[in-house]
Amino acid sequence: MKLLGATISALSLVGSAYTQTVQNGASADTRGGQGAGQSIKILRSGSQPSREGPAENFSGKVRVDPLFEASAPGRARGSLVTFDPGARTAWHTHPLGQVLIVTAGVGRVQRWGDPVDEIRKGDVVWIPAGQKHWHGAATNSSMSHIAIVEVLDGNSVEWKDKVSDSQYSAAVRAELSTTNANSSQPRPSQRAIGDFAPKLSELTDNVLYADVWERPDLSKRDRSLVTVAALIALNRPDQLRSHLTRARDNGVTQEELIETITHLAFYSGWPNAVTAVGVAKEVFEKK
């Protein structure tokens, strides 16, 4: 009888171990802290439909791709927001602040009462709790950012008035300090050829980049595309290298640049396209 009792308790031990394995710790095991019973969740790319930014809260064309919803006890939620050139949010506040991670292009952000700041791919923007602000694309470039907010009592944003055209067009602080040709920071061509060929350097900085590239009649993105196309067709790998990086900064995607090269194989010749794709591979792998 003793033997049978031991066998039964051994079996029930196996049984309970089995149950725990199957439930993956879904029992009241609190050693792992709150949420220990929940398994990792993977939201597959493309499984959550995009939606348009509603016209009452946004100006211009804005696409919102939801990324994740707050899941208790966590309260952060995130989305990827893509603004067409000139598009922006309305003025608004976030009860617990917001973090923006710029993933493509050039944009703008402003707190009420402060100058407008320019933001670029790779910049991380922290907006304090309760501060009235807006964010959006630059006039001639699209901009995408990942936006992360925390939910307080079910709310993560309070919307206010639209950003008027004159508010949107106010002088940009970053542009004044970092992209002005007279800034103390040397322009790329000054660093590369300034001492050796000062006139060529001056023409490059003050005519090509400060004047022609800044003209509003073509977006920066379009200027990048036509420039890259010309450099591929002319087989100029040295200049193509820096313009591929610039094109990415101006909102042209890696896929679009590879498609451009593929397209140009027919118009500029296969050897040019193969040279260009070698340069592109080098540039994209470095990024």
Residue 98 touches Mn ion, criterion: CB under 5 A: yes
What sign for the dihedral angle of Cα 25, 27, 32, 34?
positive
Is residue 110 a contact residue for Mn ion (CB under 5 A)?
Answer: no
Site string for Mn ion, 47-86 (x = CB under 5 A): ----------------------------------------
CB 103, CB 70: distance < 8 Å: no
Query: Mind spelling out the 3-state secondary structure of 14-58?
Result: HHHHHHHHHHCCCCCCCCCCCCCCCCCCCCCCCCCCCEECCCCCE
**The total number of residues written for the chain in this structure:** 287
- The piece of 60-68, 79-87, 91-99, 219-227 that touches Mn ion (CB under 5 A) is 91-99
Residue 164 or 178: the one with the smaller Cβ distance to Mn ion is: 164
CB of 127 to Mn ion, least distance (A): 6
Both tokens of residue 6?
């031991």
Q: Which residue from 160, 135, 139 is spatially nearest to 148, judged by alpha carbons?
A: 135
Of 98 and 227, the one with the shorter C-beta distance to Mn ion is 98
Write down the least CB distance from residue 184 to Mn ion, Å.
Answer: 32
Q: Which stretch binds Mn ion (CB under 5 A): 29-37, 57-65, 90-98, 158-166?
A: 90-98
Nearer to Mn ion, 98 or 141 (CB): 98
Residue 204 engages Mn ion in binding (rule: CB under 5 A): no
CA dist 176 to 41, 115, 171, 183, Å? 45, 11, 8, 8
Rounded Cα distance, 247 and 254, in Å: 9
Q: Give 155 or 242: the residue with its C-beta nearer to Mn ion.
A: 155
What is the closest distance, in whole angstroms, from the C-beta atom of residue 58 to Mn ion in the complex? 11
Sign of CA dihedral 203, 205, 207, 212: positive
Q: Does 156 bind Mn ion (CB under 5 A)?
A: no
| Minimum distance, C-beta of residue 65 to Mn ion, in the bound complex (Å) | 16
Instruction: State the minimum distance, in angstroms, from the CB of residue 117 to Mn ion.
Output: 13
Nearest to 240 by CA among 276, 200, 214: 276
- What residues line the site for Mn ion (CB under 5 A)? 98
